[in-house]
């Protein structure tokens, strides 16, 4: 199943979208714990659980040990760099993009609007999650020879005020 990104291709958000399926997809993800909370104990030893209104924890998609000559990797990486929120802002585009993935079964990014199987051709029932790509980076392996990247990382945060899967 896919990792998908949907983003506006013009300055007016929501008028024209492009959908990108990540191929090759990330080799692993780094999502935080399912629930964000703080437990406090009052002076009279009662427990108070505090939960934030918005989830600001960083999530990551990682590609490990990729060579630059793997088919599709360089073009995918160029597209991901262009989707970084700062770059989109510089380009006059909305820095918020949307993601959906049902590869990992984690993170709450696999919802559909009708609880049926996802429509992966017309994308009619996919519940997109608004995010900002904070940083798109990769580190090449030292030692000579063909270029190989130890780790390529896309870091993002949830930018969707109505998102409640945390």
**pLDDT of res. 166:** 55
Gap between the Cα atoms of 43 and 154, Å rounded: 43
17-21, 46-50, 125-129: least confident range: 46-50
Q: What is the pLDDT of residue 134?
A: 97
pLDDT band at 9 (very low <50, low <70, confident <90, very high): confident
60-112: pLDDT as tens digits: 999 998 888 888 898 999 999 999 999 999 998 999 999 999 988 887 899 99
Q: In terms of Cα–Cα distance, which of 130, 95, 101, 88 is closest to 28?
A: 101
Strongest mean pLDDT among 45-49, 115-119, 132-136:
132-136
In this prediction, residues 14-27 reach a mean pLDDT of 88
pTM summary value: 0.84
Phi then psi dihedrals of residue 36, to 5 deg: -105, 125
Give mean pLDDT, residues 120-141: 92
Percentage of residues of the chain with pLDDT beyond 70: 92
Query: How does strand 47-50 pair with strand 59-67?
Result: unpaired
């Amino acid at each position: 199943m896919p990792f998908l990104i949907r983003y506006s291709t013009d300055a007016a958000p929501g008028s024209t979208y492009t959908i990108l399926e990540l191929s090759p997809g990330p080799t692993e993800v780094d999502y935080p714990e399912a629930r964000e909370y703080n437990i406090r104990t009052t002076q009279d030893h009662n427990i108070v659980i505090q939960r934030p209104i918005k989830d600001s924890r960083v999530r990551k998609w990682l590609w490990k040990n990729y060579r630059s000559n793997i088919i599709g990797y360089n073009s995918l990486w160029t597209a991901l760099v262009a989707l970084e929120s700062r770059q989109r802002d510089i380009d006059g585009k909305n820095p918020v993009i949307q993601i959906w993935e049902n590869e990992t079964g984690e993170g709450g990014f696999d919802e559909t609007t009708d609880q049926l199987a996802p429509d992966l051709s017309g994308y009619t029932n996919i519940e997109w999650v608004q995010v900002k790509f904070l940083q798109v980076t990769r580190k090449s392996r030292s030692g000579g020879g063909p270029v190989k990247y130890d780790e390529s990382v896309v870091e993002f945060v949830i930018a969707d005020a109505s998102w409640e899967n945390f």
